[in-house]
Amino acid sequence: MAVISQDLYSKSVEVINNNLYDFGISIDDKKTKGSYIYLECEEDRSDTRSSLEMELENISGITCSRKYIKSRSSMDMTEISGFGDNLFLVYKDRKGGMKETTLNASITELFPAIAFEKKISPTLLTDKFYNEIVSAHDPKLHVYKNKTASDAGKDTIDRASSSSKFEDKVENAKAITRFLIEENKRKKINKVVWGYRNNTKPTGVSPNHKGDIFLVFDDGNILGVSLKAGSASSAEPQFNSYVRPIFTSFKKLPDFAKLQKTSYNLFYKGIPNIPKESMYGKSQMTKVVGAFENSNIKRYEALYDEQLKFVRQYLCNMMNQYPKKAKQWLLSEVAAEQEDVPLIVVKAANDTIKIIDDENVIKDCVQTSKKINGIKAYPSKTSKQNWHIDLTCRTHTTTLNFSIRTNKTGINHKLGQYVNLAVKFNGLKKK
């Protein structure tokens, strides 16, 4: 076993342990050895990696970079350097392999990009279209920015037929292929790049850009396309995040710590056998919370509802207290504004597509809203999960619909998710 600097190891592990529940990670003790720490991730591995790297770089004397070792992982590891040594974090899906939700999304993103580059007709039947995609895969395709992307592409293609929604997703992919063909008629497309992860987006594109594929035109301009898939009547969330990243965006992480403390005193302190406050969010406390759910489900549900209401109101209050930060959050995160790389949202439903311009409406309303009292956040009167933001833009008010809820399973759901609940943007309020 390699000898690692005790300072580097202990400080790094301390950061990991402090963020276990926030980031949905756990250390795989069986694989962790020497200079390699293996992390199991509940959420998107790339997003988890970026969030964890930000926390690690808050430690004086530590820097983070990326390193790819095929034998360790299909995606870049985090290389932590400091105190005269190096430590590596390896990220794995908690259940192993590509989750079906990720797989389905990848089919609708990757297949059209390949089909466009290799001129595979979207009129082909499902099996024929898929077989053409299989034959067309090549690491040298312009679709792939780097080896990380091409490896993920090969994995997606190999696993695609195992999806329970395979035929539906291929139909979606064919519809998006037709969209790319029509866009190319409007303006010549040089290549379509699959932005599978933040490090696979084209050079010059922000890592947090919401585009799933990127149209690089002959004149060098780039258009990001965020892809959604569902039924004709469904309303897919257009932005997914958690409470803690919002505090990060607002540069209010100390307030998040205060929120956790308040949460402990209000909703957890009275639970039988609950550990002390310093164990908030850690596995020891989560086990007690899970046992409480089994022993007193009625009280458990009541406490969850109370905490949900409390956190929802807290977010609304923060938006209203810091309107400039709220507007910047709407631009940079919800609408994923990048001035030189605009974004459109395309929804595929069966074999049809629809362009959703909610993000552009947000951008316009933020830019034209009143400097003072131009934003108002408030909880829904009819739903315990929903909340809204009103933007007074020009002569009218535009209402943005959000929700906040648990999205974990088992003992990690509801009270086991603590205050770091899922936050989603669900589009504009229909007039």
The reported pLDDT for the residue numbered 174 is: 95
As a whole number, the mean pLDDT across the chain is: 86
Among 161, 195, 229, the domain-final residue is 229
Contacts of 294-302 with CB under 8 Å at 24 or more apart are 300/414, 300/415, 301/414
* Residues near 172 by beta carbon (within 8 Å), at least 6 away in sequence: 107, 108, 229, 348, 349, 350
Residues 288 and 424 in one domain: yes
Confidence of residue 28 (pLDDT cuts 50, 70, 90): confident
Residue 22: is its pLDDT beyond 90?
no
Residue 205: is its pLDDT beyond 80?
yes
Q: Is residue 181 part of a domain?
A: yes
DSSP 1-47: -----HHHHHHHHHHHHHTHHHHTEEE-TTT-BTTEEEEEESS-HHH
Confidence of residue 260 (pLDDT cuts 50, 70, 90): very high
Confidence of residue 58 (pLDDT cuts 50, 70, 90): confident
Q: Is residue 380 part of a domain?
A: yes
How large is the average pLDDT for residues 125-132? 96
Residues 71 and 207 in one domain: no
Residues 219 and 296 in one domain: no
Dihedral angle computed from the Cα positions of residues 159, 160, 166 and 172, in that order, rounded to the nearest 10 degrees? 150
Residues 322 and 424 in one domain: yes
Residues 263 and 402 in one domain: yes
Angle of the 126-136 helix axis to the 100-117 helix axis, nearest 10? 80
Longest alpha-carbon distance in the chain: 67
Residues 122 and 169 in one domain: yes
The reported pLDDT for the residue numbered 290 is: 94
What is d(CA 236, CA 116) in angstroms, rounded to the nearest whole number?
Answer: 25
Residues 272 and 385 in one domain: yes
DSSP three-state, residue 351:
coil
Structure tokens at 430: 């229909």
Distance of CA 332 to the CA centre of its chain: 14
Between 45 and 327, residue with greater pLDDT: 327
Residues 267 and 415 in one domain: yes
CATH code, domain with 13: 3.30.1360
Q: Which structural domain range is residue 335 located in?
A: 239-342+357-428
Residues 104 and 89 in one domain: no
Residue 409: is its pLDDT beyond 80?
no
Looking at 19-28, 119-128, 375-384, 401-410, which range is the least confident one?
A: 19-28
Q: How many domains does the chain have?
A: 3
Between 331 and 266, residue with greater pLDDT: 266
Q: Is residue 70 part of a domain?
A: yes
Summarised one tens digit per residue, pLDDT across range 72-120 is: 887 889 999 988 899 999 998 775 445 677 788 899 999 999 999 999 9
The reported pLDDT for the residue numbered 123 is: 96
The reported pLDDT for the residue numbered 4 is: 67
How large is the average pLDDT for residues 398-414? 88
Count Cβ neighbours within 10 Å for each residue of 187-210 and write b for 16 or more, e otherwise. eebebbbbbbbbbbbbeebbeebb
Summarised one tens digit per residue, pLDDT across range 312-333 is: 999 999 999 999 899 888 877 7
